[in-house]
Amino acid sequence: MPRRHVGRWVTAAALLVFAMVVSSVVRNRAFQWDAVASYFTTSAVLDGLLLTLWLTGAVMALGFLLGTLLAVMRLSANPVLRTLSRGYVWIFRSTPLLVQLLFWFNIGALYPTLGFGVPFGPQFVTVKTVNLLGPTLTAVIGLTLHEAAYAAETVRGGILSVDTGQAEAAQALGLSRWRTLRRIVVPQAMR
């Protein structure tokens, strides 16, 4: 007796219903697809798309750089570095991203001016925070700090997955811990 393939029939029926919905949406004149196409190609939408792609690339690169540093700190033998990294990851992963972005965007209200000088003494250079941090820079800062917390856990997992024999072999060859990490462990962990 041939086997019944109920899953195939259910999947085919679901695909047929989905195709009917897509066909209904595409052929419905009430959606005014020509107006949608004309608005989609406006300069404001295309500039926003370009900014989104640029932010994605910049934040991913900066986030993974900071995340790698945080992962190395978390795996360090130094308890202060371990605690700082763990606290950073905990805070930035447990706080919603929108709250973080609102905080960084409104940092000028908390710190109207930033200065460089002697602690509790005279300041040599002061600058208004509103003039220093624009909307794009605050988005880069907020998104990078958030991404770094997640990237730190990803990189830490990658570093822990590298066989300890790799580090032992590098140590047997006389490589320093920093060079072993930079040349042997991290490249394997990033894969």
Q: At what angle do helices 43-74 and 135-161 cross, to 10 degrees?
A: 40
Over the stretch 142-175, which tens digit does the pLDDT of each residue have?
999 999 999 999 999 988 888 888 888 888 888 8
What 129-137 contacts at long range (C-beta under 8 Å, 24+ apart), as own/partner pairs, is 133/104, 133/107, 133/108, 135/105, 136/51, 136/55
pTM over 0.85, yes/no: no
Q: Sketch the domain layout of the chain as residue ranges.
A: 41-152
Q: What percentage of residues in the chain have a pLDDT greater than 90?
A: 52
Q: What is the residue-averaged pLDDT of the chain?
A: 90
146-178 burial, b at 16+ Cβ within 10 Å, e below that, comes to bbbbebbeebbebbeebeeeebeebeeeebeee
Q: Which pLDDT belongs to residue 62?
A: 97
Mean pLDDT across the stretch 39-60? 94
Mean pLDDT across the stretch 29-42? 89
Q: Which pLDDT belongs to residue 124?
A: 86
The 8-class DSSP code of residue 164 comes to H
pLDDT class of 135 with cuts at 50, 70, 90: confident
Q: What percentage of residues in the chain have a pLDDT greater than 70?
A: 100
Dist CA 71 CA 132 (whole Å): 30
Q: Which pLDDT belongs to residue 145?
A: 96
Least confident of 5-9, 54-58, 83-87: 5-9
Q: Which pLDDT belongs to residue 82?
A: 94
Class of domain 41-152: mainly alpha
Over the stretch 94-114, which tens digit does the pLDDT of each residue have?
999 999 999 988 888 888 888
Q: Which pLDDT belongs to residue 74?
A: 93
